[in-house]
Amino acid sequence: MSARLPVIRFILGMPARRQNVVSGAIRTSLLSTVFENAYPLFMAGAASAFVALVAYWRLHAPWAAVWLLIDVSILVTRLLCIRAYARRHSNAGARHTDTWAMRYAPLCLLATLTLGLGTMGCVISPDGQLAALAIMVTAGILGGIGSRNAAVPRLAIAQIALGAIPIGIGTLVAPRSGSWILVPPLAAYLGAMFSVVWRHYDGLLALMSAEQRHAELAARFDAALANMPHGLCTIDTSGKVVIANRRTAELFGARVDELKLDLPLPEFIGHVGLGQFGPGLRKQLVERCAAWLQGERRPFDLDLRDGRQLEMTRNPVPDGSAVIIIEDVTERRESEARMLHLARHDSLTGLANRRELHDRLRRMLGAAPPSAASRPAVLYLDLDGFKNVNDSLGHGAGDEVLTMVAARLRQTLREGELAARLGGDEFAIVVRDSTPLVVSTIAQRIIRVISRPYRLAAGKNVSIGTSIGIALSAPGDAVDELITRADHALYAAKQAGKGTFRVSKRDGVLL
């Protein structure tokens, strides 16, 4: 057996053809075909046994009885081998298939050799009818082998050769004259069968290679789909969800088994998001989603109960379907909000900055009725004594004082008032509805609040004050003009001795 093992391995070898490489998985699939569909094998064995039986009946030759006995024994052994392989194959792998093929291939070769030798005996015999029957049956069986075992081409070719070559030898040694004329068509038959085997093998190998490539691509796609950070749904031309990845369920706080496909997208989202929206909001959600699908291709926002925000985008496909991307935009929205806040607020104190002050004041001036008795006003503040704190205690202490000043200003604000830091130790307050009496009262209150001592983290107490310039708006005032007048009034307050305020009238007279 060990001497024949390399030959069997060669016969079971599967060469690469036309750039199609035989991988381990493909080899296993091709090898397993020799164990499939035992019915043609049974019919071929029965036909061979029938010819042997006829040969014994007509010739009464001992070799025909031996042929019949060997043929039936090999057929039964092959059928039992196929059954045993099928019973054990479900729990075994590629190595199992290769081992069984090594056991099964010699039986295949022995069966066709027995068929070929028996047919040779029929050709050599004086019974022409028996010879014709044997050749016809053998040709049919070998044709079936060429088709059935084409997945293992060398095995099929070896079987065909072992079955056909003895017939050629028989025609050359047969006592009947002219038997040799069967040799040329027999050679043509062999060539045709070999060509058929290789053509079938090429087709099978190309098909399995393509299937393997598609399976690998599908596996990669499935892995990417399952592990992508966004939810993904594919809807068909009728709007029903046909694909949904695991992340879709996770985004809604649901389980994967709660994803119900073949539903319209609004119903699909309503079902998977039921835990986040509840029955009451589910209907509203379904209606909003349906309207979104019929409208523009803008993002569709979903606010979940746990505070997260999801965004759905629709990406149409030329065939009429669409890909829906679901993204958790909570962090992005929070980051955008922080950036927007920083763009309009002072980073140290958290108060509005100069840009925000200008925008808010512009809107107030535009919204104020021309004939209103009370109009927007600006209070421009400058801290008295702050430079001494910075110089004596350092910028850290100065920043601490500025932060506490901002906190006190927030506490003094009423509805319709805005505090802003303009830079350094300069602040501003915008009052929506004011009169000279109102802004004077506000300024006095601010001076008192700012003048209270400040307890620093280092344990020291510091005292500062503030001077305030006030500008009351009039119809047609521009923002920069109003702030400039407030700044001039602040300068007048500083000149008056600090810790006080001055109001600027439109004609420039200071009170």
Segment 199-230, tens digit of pLDDT? 999 988 888 888 888 777 767 877 777 778 88
Q: What pLDDT was estimated at residue 505?
A: 65
Q: State the pLDDT confidence band at 91, using cuts at 50, 70 and 90.
A: low
- Residue 55 pLDDT > 60: yes
Selected from 3.30.56.10, 2.30.30.230, 3.40.50.720, 3.30.450.20, the CATH number assigned to the domain covering 231-332 reads 3.30.450.20
Per cent of the chain over pLDDT 90 is 46
Q: Looking at residue 235, what DSSP letter applies?
A: E
Q: Is the dihedral of CA 271, 273, 275, 279 positive or negative?
A: negative
The stretch 301-315 carries a mean pLDDT of 88
Q: What pLDDT was estimated at residue 426?
A: 95
The CA radius of gyration of the chain, in Å to the nearest whole number, is 48
Q: What pLDDT was estimated at residue 2?
A: 39
Burial class, 146, CB count within 10 angstroms (exposed 0-12 / middle 13-18 / buried 19+): buried
| 8 A C-beta contact, residue 30 and residue 14 | yes
Q: For residues 352 and 338, what is the distance between their CA atoms, to the nearest angstrom?
A: 13
Question: Residue 352: CB partners within 8 Å, gap ≥ 6?
Answer: 344, 345, 346, 360, 418, 419, 420, 421
The stretch 381-385 carries a mean pLDDT of 94
Segment 235-268, tens digit of pLDDT? 999 989 998 888 888 888 888 888 888 899 988 8
Q: What pLDDT was estimated at residue 95?
A: 66
User: What fold does the segment set 345-504 form as a domain?
Assistant: Alpha-Beta Plaits (3.30.70)
Tokens of 277: 């929206």
Q: What pLDDT was estimated at residue 371?
A: 65
Q: In the beta sheet, which residues pair with residue 241?
A: 235
Among the residue ranges 30-44, 85-99, 207-221, 320-334, the one predicted with the least confidence is 85-99
Among the residue ranges 211-215, 250-254, 399-403, 439-443, the one predicted with the least confidence is 211-215
Question: Residue 191: CB partners within 8 Å, gap ≥ 6?
Answer: none
CB neighbours (10 Å) of residue 451?
Answer: 14
Q: What pLDDT was estimated at residue 506?
A: 60
- Which residue type is seen at 70? I
Q: What pLDDT was estimated at residue 348?
A: 92
Q: Is the dihedral of CA 66, 68, 74, 80 positive or negative?
A: negative
Question: Residue 230: CB partners within 8 Å, gap ≥ 6?
Answer: 247, 325, 326, 327
- Residue 508 pLDDT > 80: no
The stretch 14-37 carries a mean pLDDT of 84
Q: State the pLDDT confidence band at 507, using cuts at 50, 70 and 90.
A: very low
Segment 322-338, tens digit of pLDDT? 999 999 998 888 888 88
Q: What pLDDT was estimated at residue 60?
A: 92
Strand 300-303, strand 417-423: pairing: unpaired
Q: What pLDDT was estimated at residue 90?
A: 55
- So where are the chain's domains? 5-220, 231-332, 345-504
- Residue 22 pLDDT > 90: no
Q: What pLDDT was estimated at residue 459?
A: 87
Q: State the pLDDT confidence band at 93, using cuts at 50, 70 and 90.
A: low
Cα separation values, 384 from 12, 352, 490, Å: 100, 21, 12
Q: What pLDDT was estimated at residue 195?
A: 93
Sheet holding 417-423, edge to edge: 417-423, 426-434, 375-384, 465-472, 501-504
- Residue 194 pLDDT > 80: yes
Phi, psi of 469 (to 5 degrees): -110, 135
- Residue 388 pLDDT > 50: yes
**Which DSSP helix (H) or strand (E) runs through 418?**
strand 417-423
Question: Residue 110: CB partners within 8 Å, gap ≥ 6?
Answer: 74
The stretch 423-434 carries a mean pLDDT of 92
- Which residue type is seen at 94? A
Q: In the beta sheet, which residues pair with residue 418?
A: 430
Segment 135-154, tens digit of pLDDT? 999 999 999 998 889 889 99
Q: What pLDDT was estimated at residue 139?
A: 92
Q: What pLDDT was estimated at residue 279?
A: 73
**pTM (2 d.p.):** 0.54
DSSP sequence for 154-189: HHHHHHHHHHHHHHHHHHHH-SSTTGGGGHHHHHHH
- Comparing CA positions, the residue from 327, 386, 397, 376 lying closest to residue 481 is 376
Burial code (b: 16+ CB inside 10 Å, e: under 16) for 16-48 equals: ebeebebeeebbbbbbbebbeeeeebeebbebb
Among the residue ranges 48-62, 239-253, 481-495, the one predicted with the least confidence is 239-253
